[in-house]
Amino acid sequence: MTLSKTKTIMNHTTNYSNTFIQVADDSKAVRGEVPPLKGESKSIAQMQFELLFDNPYKYTSDEVLFQVFAWKKEIGKHDLDDARVQYFSKGQPCFRASPLTKQYGWGVHSNAEGKIAIYGCETAEYERFSSDSSLKVIRAMKSKR
C-alpha cells in the first residue's frame, strides 16, 4: 500500500482508543443478546457479533466494519486492498451506530491500542467501564430522534 492510500485510510477512521460506548438510551435490551437469524443471509449485527464475541481485543473497529462490508459485498481477496481504500475514502458510521449497541445490549470498549471488545449491559465489566474516569464514555446513537 502506498503512503497516499494509507493517509486516505487514516483520515476516515472509526477507531477509538480508551473509550467505552454504552448502549443507546432508547434500547430495550436488558442484557447482551445474540442477534437472531433473519432469513437466509447473516445480518450485519450477526457478523459483527461473530467477529467480536470470541475475539476480544483482536480487531479494531475499522477492521470489523470493513470485514463485514467485504462479506456483505462478496469482495474477493484480490480486490480487498482497493476496496478498503475506497471504503475509507469517506466517513463511515462507527460502532455508536451499530445494531449491537443500539438494539442488542452490547457496550464496546476500545483499549489504548484501539482494539475492541463487547460487553453485555448486564455485566460487571459493563458497569466498571461505564464508571471508569480514565475512559471517554459515550452513548450509542438512539434509534429514534
DSSP character string of 40-92? SSPPHHHHHHHHHHTSTTTSBHHHHHHHHHHHHHT--GGGHHHHHHHHTTS--
| Cell 445494531 sits on residue | 99
Residue 145 is assigned to a structural domain of this protein = no
- Say if pTM beats, i.e. exceeds, 0.85: yes
Please state the domain count of the chain: 1
Average per-residue pLDDT for the chain:
91
Residue 144 is assigned to a structural domain of this protein = no
- Strand-pairing partners, residue 139, are 22
Dump pLDDT digits (tens) for 84-122: 999 998 889 999 999 999 999 999 999 999 999 999 999
pLDDT of residue 6: 41
Residue 91 is assigned to a structural domain of this protein = yes
Residue 101 is assigned to a structural domain of this protein = yes
Dump pLDDT digits (tens) for 27-49: 999 999 999 988 888 999 999 99
Q: What is the domain extent for residue 135?
A: 3-34+43-139
Residue 117 is assigned to a structural domain of this protein = yes
- Strand-pairing partners, residue 109, are 20, 117
11 pLDDT band, cuts 50/70/90, is low
Residue 63 is assigned to a structural domain of this protein = yes
